[in-house]
Amino acid sequence: MDFLMFDFLEGEILLIDKPLEWTSFQVVNKVRHEIKNKLGIKKIKVGHAGTLDPLATGLLILCTGKKTKTIDQIQQLTKEYTGEIQLGATTPSFDLETGIDKNYSIEHLTESEITLAATKLTGKLSQVPPSFSAKKINGQRAYDAARRGEFLKLAPKEIEVYSFQIDCNALPQVKFKIECSKGTYIRALARDLGVETNSGGHLTALRRTKIGRYQVEDALTINQICTLIQDN
């Protein structure tokens, strides 16, 4: 990214390395606030091209001004993620947002069995989204209901997993790299890997590394992007 000449109103595509525990909305708000202060304006369009959960890190693409029209196009691009799944236990949220609700034996697990399960979860799939997701049912977010103990029935969604590579050298932790389509919930793949291996599973770490040709290696931290906006 060449930030020597910003033109936020005409439009910029900004690559952010989202920190842990920030929501995607918080990142957008922070960058919008910095741009408005810099330009001395009251309004500017800023949006992101694909949500990252608070417990995930990595590539978050922000678009400003007229470039917000490209958000839909960017969202259609293939995503790449790395992270870790813990087998032998489940959580209601399929990640670390909630505590373990059930433990399973992992004595039967072998690398070949886990590899076979990952293979079964590759290709075109009908995936049920997590109850702790932003999906709306009858006007309410699924995660709002789930946090009240009300688990809404979510319809399966067609997705595609192009590759699901695993590393079983530290069981019950399984490291992975996944390439997938828009709309894929990696937390749900962690759940499904646990189901396929009859061992339960939940996501313990997640990092988005690519969106199409955009790479996290080219992204800036929140502090770096704010400094560049102020110095532009």
Question: For residue 54, what are the β-bridge partners?
Answer: none
Same fold, 13-76+215-231 and 79-211: yes
Q: What is the DSSP string of 202-213?
A: EEEEEEEEEETT
Residue 142: pLDDT band (50, 70, 90) is low
Which residues are within 8 A (CB) of 94 and not within 5 positions of it... i.e. 6 or more apart?
130, 132, 185, 187, 188, 190, 191, 202, 203
Sign of the CA dihedral with 128 first, then 131, 134, and 135 last: positive
C-alpha 169/C-alpha 6 separation (Å) is: 46
Phi then psi dihedrals of residue 218, to 5 deg: -95, 0
Three-class SS state of 140: strand
pLDDT (0 to 100) of residue 136: 67
Residue 232: pLDDT band (50, 70, 90) is confident
For the segment 194-209, the average pLDDT, to the nearest whole number, is 97
- List, for residues 82-138, the tens digit of each pLDDT value: 999 999 999 999 999 999 999 999 999 999 999 999 999 999 999 988 776 666 666
Residue 141 pLDDT greater than 80, yes or no: no
Query: CATH says 13-76+215-231 is which class?
Result: alpha beta
pLDDT (0 to 100) of residue 149: 66
Residue 179: pLDDT band (50, 70, 90) is very high
**pTM for the whole thing?**
0.91
pLDDT (0 to 100) of residue 3: 45
Task: Show me where the domains of the chain are located.
Answer: 13-76+215-231, 79-211
Question: For residue 127, what are the β-bridge partners?
Answer: 157
- Annotated active-site positions, please? 53
pLDDT (0 to 100) of residue 42: 92
Which residues are within 8 A (CB) of 110 and not within 5 positions of it... i.e. 6 or more apart?
none
C-alpha 25/C-alpha 145 separation (Å) is: 20
Q: For residue 21, is it left (φ>0), alpha (ψ between -120 and 50) or beta?
A: left
For the segment 158-176, the average pLDDT, to the nearest whole number, is 97
- List, for residues 6-32, the tens digit of each pLDDT value: 789 899 999 999 999 999 999 999 999
Which superfamily does CATH assign the domain made up of 79-211 to? Answer: Pseudouridine synthase (3.30.2350.10)
